[in-house]
Amino acid sequence: MGPIAYYLATLVVYFFIFAILTWGLNIQFGSAGILNFTYITFFAIGAYFTGVAMMARPTTDSNMRYILGLNWPFIPSLLLGALAAGLLGLLVGLVALRRLRSDYLAIVTVSVGAIVYDFVNVNTSAFNGGDGIAGVPYPFNDQLNLDPNTYIFFYVGLTGFVMLVLGVVAFRLYKSPLGRTLRAIREDSDVAAAFGKDTYRFRMIAMVIGCLYAGIAGGLLIGFISALNPGGWTAGETFIIWAALLVGGRGNNWGALLGAFLVPVLFVEATRFLPEIPGHPVLIAAIRNMIVGGLLIGVLWFRPEGILPERKARFPFVGSTQPRKDAQLDS
């Protein structure tokens, strides 16, 4: 069990987590056209709530302060984290989704992101402020008792399983009549409303589901790295997920998967090994983020549909009952 294998396994876990995130954003933006400019916040909320649900109640002499401390097993904690993220999504939707213009939602998301970040950072009693929480127990390892080198492969399996389930859900949603209605709202919400679709309700569904995805991804991450502080989910992270979706292909779940591999895993991880510039510790990270920002703009200019564009809907399950052709004009 070499360090290379360990490192590759880590990458696989990250890939799975980013795949979930990109699918979630695809449900919001790719399907429903919702501009969520603080997607990472929902991820963080999911992570924090999963973490504090799993951790034991903080003792008075502990140097960490946080809410809950329920000592719950992983599964219910993960669900709690997802629910918290979904609830925040619901609140944001309540404020912003009634308005038709996408700017409103974008403004509200940016503001919510700033407020939540500020709150978590400053308010030490929620999630231990700027120092963050640490020491979240490894999921299921109280029963498994595996050493870290073996446990990581268990975790690859765990995240892989969750990713598969959420992938199936994402694909089903996209192909379902629900997905079709969401796309109709994305294309022209007046038309969708004129055909009886309650556009507010449908957009809310997409908003909340996308946030649930983010929450679950967050829970999986904190189970893996067992600690999180505000430095781990800066606004910059949101852009990476956006870049992944736009590069891979918005409105295409395979594209989202490809993007999750290309941007957060291949690009961000590959640049991790660049040597640090002495005396300038953040230079590499800054350049990396500049490239991500440039990528967002460049993709929209050169290939706005992404590498794998949205595909036309097909209905292979409809068996043709009779030969068809267009009716001809009499005249």
Site for other proteins in 285-304 (CB under 8 A): 285-287, 289-290, 292-297, 300-301, 304
Q: By CB under 8 A, which span of 69-77, 146-154, 237-245, 253-261 interacts with other proteins?
A: 237-245
Give the contacts of 263 (CB within 8 A, at least 6 positions apart). 240, 243, 244, 247, 248, 292, 295
Binding of other proteins at residue 128 (CB under 8 A)?
A: no
CB 132 within 8 A of CB 51: no
Binding of other proteins at residue 276 (CB under 8 A)?
A: no
CB 105 within 8 A of CB 97: yes
The smaller minimum CB distance to other proteins, of residues 269 and 305, is found at 305
Binding of other proteins at residue 271 (CB under 8 A)?
A: no
Binding positions for other proteins, 161-180, rule CB under 8 A: 169, 172-173, 175-180
Whose tokens are 């300038």? That residue is: 280
The smaller minimum CB distance to other proteins, of residues 144 and 282, is found at 282
CB 309 within 8 A of CB 252: yes
The smaller minimum CB distance to other proteins, of residues 13 and 212, is found at 212
For residue 319, the tally of other CB atoms under 10 A from its CB is 6
Binding positions for other proteins, 30-69, rule CB under 8 A: 33, 35, 37
Binding of other proteins at residue 312 (CB under 8 A)?
A: yes
Residue 323 backbone phi and psi in degrees, to 5: -70, 140
Binding positions for other proteins, 180-219, rule CB under 8 A: 180-181, 183-184, 186-188, 190-199, 205, 209
Residue 56 backbone phi and psi in degrees, to 5: -80, 160
The interface mask with other proteins, positions 82-121, x = CB under 8 A, is: -------------xx--xxxxxx-xxx-xxx-xx--xx--
In the complex, minimum distance from the CB of residue 144 to other proteins, in angstroms, rounded to a whole number: 30
The smaller minimum CB distance to other proteins, of residues 205 and 222, is found at 205
The smaller minimum CB distance to other proteins, of residues 145 and 271, is found at 271
Distance from C-alpha of 94 to C-alpha of 104, rounded to nearest angstrom: 12
CB 213 within 8 A of CB 29: no
Token readout for 238 is 């949101």
User: What's the one-letter identity of residue 57?
Assistant: R
